[in-house]
Structure 1
Amino acid sequence: MYAGRETEMDEANQDPENGNGLYTLGLACCIGISVCGTYSQQAQPGEIRHNAFLAHLADGPAMERTWKSLESKVDRAKKSGLMGLRIQVCVVDPSTLREDKEMRWSKDMVDGQRRINDVYISKAAGLRDGSLRSGVEVYRHHINDIVDMRITRDRIMLIAKA
């Protein structure tokens, strides 16, 4: 479908410099987080450095493990000199959940989704060494608009209707 490596639900992937990119499909209530950065120094001969990261976090028992996997990959790259992080988070807009064609959402469920969104938007912002949330681009989509996320070979971060 898209060029690059697919990131499945409950998975966090990384792509090396000059890699083909990353993508994930079918974000509805799941949260997508993409991160791209640059290195200030040239890579050493034979050195493989990652500068693009994508996670597909599904609400459930693997959500925090998936987050920790993404965080670990980004932190490892930062220790190798990755900087200038650009972060994009894709979440469902909780105000649209009552319009869901697939299920009925109670007020508690809507509030829970809002809390989960806020937690992971804040965690994503923390990847920027504690920078403010304003450093994160947040895309909120309608519950009935399933979306895909991708990072191109040129490290352009895109979100499009599936």
Structure 2
Amino acid sequence: MPAPRPDPVGHGQESVWDYPRPPSAEGTGRRVEIVLGGRVVARTDRAVRVCETSHPPVYYVPSEDVVAGVLQRGEGASWCEWKGTATYWDAVVDGERHRSVGWSYERPTAGYEHLRGAVAFYPSRVDSATVDGEPVRAQAGDFYGGWITADVVGPFKGEPGSRGW
């Protein structure tokens, strides 16, 4: 199935169809915040932003910027052909376990070493995720963890009809 026609790009926006494959992974000074169980569990201005063709960006938060003791190793793993094996993380907030709220690459492949020690949170599995104070909309599809903000346009992988992209 051919790739879809990209949405129009407005002033200050970027298209996910201009993102590279394999994905880029670059540090950003944008303020990223995660709220879960009514509490801020992560806040950073040192995130790594990963961009891949057809996907909204994913922000990886350095583990030092996650509240100590919140993350606990979750079940399962998955494989990314570029970044390696993903480890899944549960979060425990006020005694309540929130399953598979994020993932990390504990031993990332060459070129993605700066992801080591950083956790990406699924926006759909937390109370809120924000970038520079803007609430994030979660990428469609249970597997995907992209962060959709007003400055990113699609269409995005994971939406209905995108299976063959």
Global fold match (TM > 0.5): no
More helix by share: 1
More strand by share: 2
TM-score normalised by structure 1 residue count: 0.27
- More RCO (CA 8 Å, sep 6+): 1
